Structure 1
Amino acid sequence: MCTAVLAANILVQFPFEPFGLADYLTYGAFTYPVTFLVNDLTNRRLGPSRTRRVVYVGFALAVLLSVAFASPRIAFASGTAFLCAQLLDVAVFDRLRRRAWWLPPLMSGFVSSAVDTVLFFSLAFAGTDLPWQNWALCDYGVKLAMIALFLGPYRMLIARMPVWQPRLNSATASL
């Protein structure tokens, strides 16, 4: 989780120049979506409570590392967006967890990626001369494409791990 966030925070500072896309994408767009895959796999395996703990630890470490390797503004924007979006991802995923296997990661990713994108790009780049609105729109498009692409690996990985089941306490079990 931390590696993906740190890589994205460093790479978001570099426009994606191949194919003339420097005004539309940064390299960070291709690394950050991995965090949603990690979050969803953790949620599927360990449940929402433990996943939130992973998010908090990932948040703290990613912000500290980002301050050292990116700019403080990027670190602040990333931390804020990461915490809000990942916690939202946990909640949406958990609400849909008993539906078709593909629905929780797809819907939680679509919703939380939108929140992440809006928060990150507005906090990181508003007031600059950089084409951050273009970057944000295209970044969201890449996130959506990667979320759809990650459904295959997600399906393969969840087939190999047990699904989290909430524990029933004695009062709940007797109902």
Structure 2
Amino acid sequence: MLNTRLLPSLIVMIAIVVASNILVQYPFTPFGLGDILTWGAFSYPFSFLVTDLTNRWFGPLRTRLVVIAGFAVAVALSAWLSEPRIALASGLAFLSAQLLDVTVFNRLRASRSWWAAPLASSSIGSALDTTIFFSVAFAGSGLPWTTWALGDFSVKILVAGVSLIPYARLMNWVKPYAPVRA
């Protein structure tokens, strides 16, 4: 059962994924540079911030619950609000990348550097997410998905770095999760 304290994480996660699945269908062409990004590149990376903060506060088990529940609701909503292929690609990429993020973050959380766990887990998760999502969603479509993927990944890495600012400000609001030692 999902703890009510996890609801804010779940709601924000669902909102980010659904918005991103709608926004990924629209190219972003900055400064006339052509099709190098989609608008979804600017919203989705914040899902890693939500995952990392949830992991810090509630631990990996409860964070996986948020990821799985977010996955189920977001894919259902995305199938209704965007194209089914986008919803499928998003679901596969989201679940794989977020669960990897939880694992990497949890292994690095004891690092001396407060920023190592969120930066590494978000970067590694972003690489997996980008690879799965763009290849499933757009391969064979005739759209410039490889350039979108490269642009998207670049933005995800940039946002992973910038997200360290809110992470640093929010990470101490509640007592960090401490695993029980048997």
TM range (shorter): over 0.9
TM-score (norm 1): 0.95
Separation in 2, partners of 1:124, 1:66: 13
The letter of the residue matching 2:142 is D
Task: Give yes or no for contact 2:14–2:74 (8 Å, CA) kept in 1.
Answer: yes
The letter of the residue matching 2:140 is G
Q: CA deviation at 1:119?
A: 0.1
The aligned residue for residue 145 of structure 2 is 132
The aligned residue for residue 75 of structure 1 is 87
- Which one of 117, 130, 134 corresponds to residue 121 of structure 1? 134
Task: Give yes or no for contact 2:29–2:36 (8 Å, CA) kept in 1.
Answer: no
5+ residue gaps, structure 1, are none
Alignment map for 1:56-71 (pairs within 5 Å):
56-71=68-83
Separation in 2, partners of 1:159, 1:64: 34
Separation in 2, partners of 1:151, 1:3: 21
- Which one of 91, 95, 102 corresponds to residue 107 of structure 2? 95
Q: CA deviation at 1:21?
A: 4.1
Alignment map for 1:26-175 (pairs within 5 Å):
26-99=38-111, 100-168=113-181, 172=182
Separation in 1, partners of 2:59, 2:33: 39
SS for the counterpart of 1:47 is helix
Q: CA deviation at 1:85?
A: 0.1
The letter of the residue matching 2:72 is A
The letter of the residue matching 2:88 is F
Task: Give yes or no for contact 2:102–2:121 (8 Å, CA) kept in 1.
Answer: yes
1:18 aligns with 2:30: yes
5+ residue gaps, structure 2, are 1-12
Q: CA deviation at 1:22?
A: 4.2
The aligned residue for residue 5 of structure 2 is none
Q: CA deviation at 1:17?
A: 2.8
Q: Which runs of 4+ in 1 moved over 4 A?
A: none
The letter of the residue matching 2:91 is G
The letter of the residue matching 2:54 is T
Is 82-91 or 153-162 further displaced after alignment? 153-162
Distance of aligned partners of 1:22 and 1:60 in 2 relative to their CA distance in 1, 3 Å threshold: farther
